[in-house]
Structure 1
Amino acid sequence: MDDASNVASIWTAVGATATVTSAATGVVVNLVNRWDRRRRAPEADWAYTIGGHEIAMHGGNEWERKDNGKYRLRGRFANCGDASAFRLTARAVHGTVRLETPSASRFGAANAHPWIAVLEPGESISFHALADPDAWADFRIELEWITSPTRLKKRVVWSLKPSEVIDRPVPAARPFAKAEEPGQQSNPQ
């Protein structure tokens, strides 16, 4: 009987080991599948164009000169990913930024938006930003959006630091300055 109980306990141990091994394998396979599904999940990604100049206003009233000396940046953000970006917002660190869409107006003014409901893959949106020259190295534009499924409210933030991709903006040429004749010198004031 002693041999029979040893054999039974061995088979009990083998059965318990098989059960634990099977459960552990199931957990590992489940974790790997979840990781792989998340890794392969569609997501928004961003491409951009950007350019800028320093605002140099001469004359005008105080309201028109309030941004004098700041850097004006314009460009476009394009969703080059394979997923939509929902509730897209933009914010700036050490400046201001706004998202813009073209106006149907014949005057060509852009419509500013605090947020965009959805930006599909392949679509783009214009932006206009003002940066403080003293904080140029720290100026940052951040895009924030919600991924799909939107009911989970998973927010993602993407950041662009213009000082890392373009040179410090220079003053724009005075568009209405009087052209000088050859041989004339300007009178510095």
Structure 2
Amino acid sequence: MLNRIKINYDVLEMMVFFWESMSSKEKVVDAYCIEVSEKTEMAPLYGKEFTKESVRKVMSALSNRELVNHPTKKESRFWNNNMWMTEDMDNMKEMLQSVKLLNLDHLKEEYTEQTKSEEINIVFIPGHEDTYYVDGNTLTINFFKLIADFLDGSIKIEGKPMQEFIEEKVKELL
């Protein structure tokens, strides 16, 4: 039985401050970049080519209005994605609003029988290449993979409406 669906966008809130600061040409201290990198929600991104230090290094470079020295492919992608947010704040705000308004409570009514987990966590983070990550009962979604469809005003992931995409992935967790 599915009892709870928790949507976590705490890291995005931290990144909004960062993106707005960058857009306003303000500098962000390294301690803030380190704090973002150490958030447990960021863990799915980390591996051989992209680490906590990668997050700090990229955010620091952005704050200093520099390119990243000798970046990996994932670090370059992370730099580009973050730069995109600072250059298109209206799009970022539209994407963020869709995340904040996301409501999946109707799924609790659908899953009244036995499920693998009684609680599902949906986490939005600024990622690099992958669209999503699954770990137990947690679905982590790369915020940068949300795309605004200006024809119908919706937000899509991999060509599907965001809500539909997330519902499909949640069903796989159950």
Higher RCO (CA < 8 A, seq sep 6+): 2
TM-score range normalised by the length of the shorter chain: under 0.3
Rg larger in 1 or in 2?
Answer: 1
Higher strand share: 1
Q: TM-score, normalised by structure 1?
A: 0.23
